Structure 1
Amino acid sequence: FDVKGQTFRHIKYAKYKGKRPPTDENLIQQIPKVKEILTAFGIKILEKQGFEADDLIGFAAKSASSSGSSQDLEIIIITGDLDTLQLINNKVKVYALRKGVKDIVLYDENLVKEKYLGLKPSQLVDFKALRGDPSDNIIGVSGIGEKTAIELLNKFESLDNLYRKIEESSDNTGIISPKIKKMLIDQKEQAYLSKLLVKIETDIPVDFNFEDCHWRDYDKEKAKRVLKNYEFNSLIDKLP
């Protein structure tokens, strides 16, 4: 879950997500109830002041990947947020809801390459650092759109390597057009700030044991009381 208050991204960039409307108060009031229901069913909840839910998802996915029992574990992130595609690897996939539960896609490394014309999941952070992300009010490099960002990363692989090539040679004729080169040089600081903002943070100082997420059992009577309290009466008889 997200936690109310600023994240490290807001501290770095005050305008982060600045164009989003306030969260619906009706939704805010439901969140504690959702947490109560999840807890009643013994489902692990993660939240940390200063970080977003995406960061916690990334942290959990990384923890699961490095777990001693993860050799045959398939990790699937269920989300409507394609920012999490950057987390995909040989163990992690993303089950993305495009238009509700009737229109869903299971993204793996190959499907990401197909969607982004050759880019790997690990390159998507640099892709958004160049192109920006209007939904989060992240500018990127003004003047560089999706097509150019993909072309640059297919050619230079990473933002670091792109700027290294620019700095190594005063003449990049035939490699980078003078117009694009100027944009990149003039907005280098903005590009790296954007990269920091779009990168999901997977190293979070939180007390977490992956084995705690293993759902084993729950207090059935407690779950019944919670469901009855919220008038989910039709679900009570369906409890396993």
Structure 2
Amino acid sequence: MERLLLIDAHAILHRAYHAFPKTLKTKKGELTNAVYGFTSIILTGFKQLKPKYAAIAFDLPKPTFRHRKFKGYKAKRPKTDEELINQIPRAYEIIKVLNIPFFVKEGYEADDIIGTLAKKAGQNKKIEVVILTGDRDALQLIDNKIKVFLPGRGKRPSLMFDKKAFLNQYLFEPRRLIDYKALAGDSSDNIPGVRGVGPKTATNLITKYGSLKEIYNNLERIEEKVRIKLIKEKKIAFLSYDLAEIQINLNLKLDFKKSILKDYNQTKTISLFEELEFKSLIYRLPGYIKQEKEIINIKKDPNKQMGLF
């Protein structure tokens, strides 16, 4: 089965920015910690996950439909550091020089783009999808054809979540992560959830009744203390569901031919890496080690072409 790797640029950039020291600068003084970590994580993903296809999604610095539904959405998050914002154009340069197609869509988040592309690609019997992200929101997308890869950080190892791994940790189906957030909320995105319902109660309700809708259809069977909270917060619960749900039906199409990890302009890529002083990453470029071996073969056979892996 061929593998498609979908990358959440926003999540990876944020993780890299906070994981790599701000001492990572060029001799000219340009801060590069986020874009260095971003590039390193992507190159590691190529090596470990060995995809045939890849695409990447970026967030736009504009409000989304979630902000229109709920003004408080992500309102408690601190303002993005200018030092990170200034590195985003460099991330685009890296993606372009590596010849990876990228997607943005006004009014939606990178999660929605990835959700749509993943579900559509998963309909192809020959394709397996892996989502590379630092955001666990994407776990709701897991099914028999879609996995989520969370890169390691510090002493924390990388994690590959398939359906079995998710069930072992959360005790309910991946899709029910939306219902879980509708009940327990999500402080990182400022999704309110039902006041007074915590992770344990939310998990118990979902494992017993299933969806949020079924929980409300069975209110008479739920203990009074919890039932009162659910009745009082019903509108908030369903609003929270809408905020937590990743969209999977956007008008987007992935061109697999253009998404093949193919030969890129290695000279231009190395030139950009040298400009950014990413010397240690040059040796990790896809095909770089093979290129040295291929030089001998090309001398023997001038018609031999160099592959990506």
**Is the TM-score greater than 0.5?**
yes
Cα distance 1:233–1:147, how it changes in 2: closer, same or farther (>3 A)? closer
Residue 201 of structure 2 corresponds to: 148
Q: Offset at 1:236? A: 5.0
Residue 181 of structure 2 corresponds to: 128
AA of the residue aligned to 1:17: K
- Alpha-carbon distance in structure 1 between the residues aligned to 2:186 and 2:281: 40
Residue 178 of structure 1 corresponds to: 224
Q: Offset at 1:101? A: 7.5
Residue 76 of structure 1 corresponds to: 130
Q: Could you tell me whether the CA contact under 8 Å between 1:78 and 1:96 is conserved in 2?
A: yes
Q: Does 1:91 align with 2:145?
A: yes
Residue 3 of structure 1 corresponds to: 60
Cα distance 1:140–1:203, how it changes in 2: closer, same or farther (>3 A)? same
Q: Does 1:16 align with 2:73?
A: yes
- Alpha-carbon distance in structure 2 between the residues aligned to 1:111 and 1:122: 14
Q: Does 1:204 align with 2:276?
A: no
- Alpha-carbon distance in structure 2 between the residues aligned to 1:236 and 1:152: 51
Cα distance 1:104–1:7, how it changes in 2: closer, same or farther (>3 A)? same
AA of the residue aligned to 1:112: F
Q: Secondary structure at the match of 1:95?
A: strand
- Alpha-carbon distance in structure 1 between the residues aligned to 2:154 and 2:132: 12
Q: Offset at 1:221? A: 3.2
AA of the residue aligned to 1:127: Y
Q: Secondary structure at the match of 2:131?
A: strand
Cα distance 1:52–1:43, how it changes in 2: closer, same or farther (>3 A)? same
Q: Does 1:216 align with 2:246?
A: no
Q: Offset at 1:215? A: 1.4
Q: Could you tell me whether the CA contact under 8 Å between 1:123 and 1:158 is conserved in 2?
A: yes
Q: Does 1:160 align with 2:160?
A: no
How far does the alpha carbon of each residue in 1:127-166 deviate from its partner, in whole angstroms, 9 at most, with x for none? 1100000111111000111111111111111111111223
Q: TM-score, normalised by structure 2?
A: 0.69
Q: Could you tell me whether the CA contact under 8 Å between 1:63 and 1:210 is conserved in 2?
A: no
- Alpha-carbon distance in structure 1 between the residues aligned to 2:265 and 2:239: 47
- Alpha-carbon distance in structure 1 between the residues aligned to 2:256 and 2:60: 21
AA of the residue aligned to 2:84: L
- Alpha-carbon distance in structure 2 between the residues aligned to 1:5 and 1:123: 28
Residue 169 of structure 1 corresponds to: none
Aligned length: 229
Percentage of matched positions with identical amino acids: 41
Give ranges in structure 2 of 5+ residues lacking alignment. 1-57, 292-309
Q: Offset at 1:233? A: 4.6
Q: Secondary structure at the match of 1:202?
A: coil
Cα distance 1:233–1:109, how it changes in 2: closer, same or farther (>3 A)? closer
Q: Could you tell me whether the CA contact under 8 Å between 1:48 and 1:206 is conserved in 2?
A: no
